[in-house]
Structure 1
Amino acid sequence: MPADLELQVVASLLRRGRSLDQLSTGLTLLGVLFGLAQLLMATITPICLILSGWLIVLGLLQKYWALRVAFDADLFTLMARDLERTPDLDQALQNLGLQSAKRAGRPWAERRRGALKLLRKQAYLLVAQVLLTLAIILASPWLPFAG
């Protein structure tokens, strides 16, 4: 596969991080609402309050990785058009303090692995949020009264 096509495919994969981020944002807002609801209730369930807090923390961490993945998606799209400008990209990243000088000139295969690793981290945090949401549902005080 030509290098420019490979970079386009990686950029397309990285853009899927936006969908992960949107779902995570919804779960984070759900955690905020559930946490506020716990504070407004007559009796506060500490475990539910702690779980909603963790849901928010995971959402914020996921948001950080989503920003990094989106940035890499843009860079991969840009560089797929002209791989000859890799030294210019490295210099720009160094000037902005986003890359150390020793990381300049890395092969694109290594950069690709790093970018996809960021996407996996983002996905893992989303999975943790989903599992935590299920834990909140199961720990909710109203669950025994359902049905």
Structure 2
Amino acid sequence: MPADMELQVVASLLRRGHSLDQLSTGLTLLGVLFGLAQLLLASISTICLLLALWMIVLGLLQKYWALRVALDADLFALLARDTTRTPDLDQALQTLGLQSPKRAGRPWSERRRGALKLLRKQAWLLGAQALLTLGVILASPWLPFAG
């Protein structure tokens, strides 16, 4: 596969991180609501409060990785049009303090692996956040009264 097409495919994959981020944002807000509900109830469930707090923490961590993935998606799409500008990219990243000088000149295969690794981290955090959401729902004190 030509390098520019490979970079376009990676950029397209990385753009899927936006959907993951939107879902995580919803789960984070749900965690905030669960946490507030625990604080407003007469009997606070410590386990639910802790799970809600972890939902929020994981959501914030996921947001950080989402920002990194979005930046990489834009950079891969830009460089797919002209891979000869790779040294310019490295220089700009170094000037902004986003890359150390010893990482300059890396092959695109290594950069691709690194960018996709960020996307996987984002997905894992979303999965953990979803499991915590399920845990909060199952541990909620009002669940026995639902039936």
The one-character-per-residue Cα deviations of 1:43-95 (angstroms, maximum 9, x if unpaired) are: 11111100000000000000000000000000000000000000000000000
- Show structure 2 runs of 5+ residues with no match: none
C-alpha distance in 1, partners of 2:112/2:6? 9
Runs of 4+ in structure 1 deviating by more than 3 angstroms, as ranges, are none
| CA deviation map 1:77-134 (0-9, x unaligned) | 0000000000000000000000000000000000000000000000000000010001
Aligned length: 147
Given the two structures, how large is their TM-score scaled by the length of structure 1?
A: 0.99
TM-score scaled by length of structure 2? 0.99
Give the whole-Å Cα distance in 2 for the aligned partners of 1:17 and 1:115.
Answer: 11
Structure 1: unaligned runs, 5 residues or longer:
none
Percent same amino acid among aligned pairs?
84
Shift of 1:145: 1.8
Partner-residue secondary structure (3-state), 1:22: helix
Matched residue, 1:53: 53
Q: 1:146, CA displacement in angstroms?
A: 1.9
* In the alignment, structure 1 residue 81 sits paired with structure 2 residue 81: yes
Structure 1 CA distance, aligned partners of 2:133 and 2:35?
Answer: 12
1:20 maps to 20
Instruction: Report the aligned-residue RMSD.
Output: 0.5
Superposition deviation, residue 143 in structure 1: 1.2
